[in-house]
Amino acid sequence: MHILVVEDEVRLARHISRALINAGHEAVVLHDGESALTATSRSRFDLIILDVMLPGIDGFEVLRRLRKAHVDSRVIILTARGEVTDRVAGLSFGADDYLAKPFAMQELVARVIALGRRYAEKAPIKLELSDLVLDLTNNELHRGTRKIELSVRELTLLRVLMREPGRVFTRTELCEKVWEREHEYDMKLVEVFISRLRRKIDSPPLIHTVRHLGYTMREEP
Ligand code: CA
């Protein structure tokens, strides 16, 4: 799933995003409500993990504005321990679930999976580009009638690219989205994975190198 994490405690936010990425999701991390509202107006997230206590606009207000703007992403709010009123308020503002701090990462990941399942039952989602079809409910990938097996990271990379066909992603951006690292060394990793993807899925080519910029997926006319 494409998940937005809104949490001002930087270390906790990083732990959460790492756990999500390791569980095969894509995670975008933001540290305040304003930027969360901007991000959700620009792209669609399957799930938002939203801390209540944020600087500036708090989590409840973010949630209220999201629902007012008809953003239908599922939302898990992170509340302070034992604050029953917080939970009630969160659910009444349209949260799908809540988790009291402190929580175990496994617990969070389990909730994410549960929400994903509930959502998948309602709306099976596929990403399609030409004859390449990725079923997001079970991660099955087909090119035409051929079934293709990908590793978890390969799948994540492919999902990132397929979600926004035609958009050029820099290597740095892909690194952050798929591996959450920013070092020089990892740029090579992106190239390695791109060439693996190409070998597995890319005939005729859908993954294109944009010189000096990065990569994009699109169907050539
Ligand atoms: Ca906080």
CB-CB contact of 171 with 214 (8 Å): yes
The overall average pLDDT reported for the chain is: 88
Ligand 1 centroid vs 63 CA: distance in angstroms?
15
pLDDT digit string (tens) for 130-141? 999 999 878 899
Query: Quick one: pLDDT band at residue 39, thresholds 50, 70, 90?
Result: very high
CA–CA separation, 12 vs 218, rounded Å? Answer: 36
* Fold designation for 126-217: Arc Repressor Mutant, subunit A (1.10.10)
The pLDDT, as a whole number, for residue 168 is: 93
DSSP labels for 128-172? Answer: EETTEEEETTTTEEEETTEEE---HHHHHHHHHHHHSTTPPEEHH
Ligand 1 centroid vs 13 CA: distance in angstroms?
10
Ligand 1 centroid vs 54 CA: distance in angstroms?
5
Ligand 1 centroid vs 27 CA: distance in angstroms?
18
pLDDT digit string (tens) for 92-108? 788 988 899 999 999 99
Ligand 1 centroid vs 124 CA: distance in angstroms?
33
Amino acid identity at 194 = I
Ligand 1 centroid vs 215 CA: distance in angstroms?
35
Give me the mean pLDDT over the 63-81 stretch. 89
CATH architecture of 2-122: 3-Layer(aba) Sandwich (3.40)
Task: Flag whether pLDDT at 49 surpasses 60.
Answer: yes
**Domain locations along the chain:** 2-122, 126-217
pTM above 0.85, yes or no: no
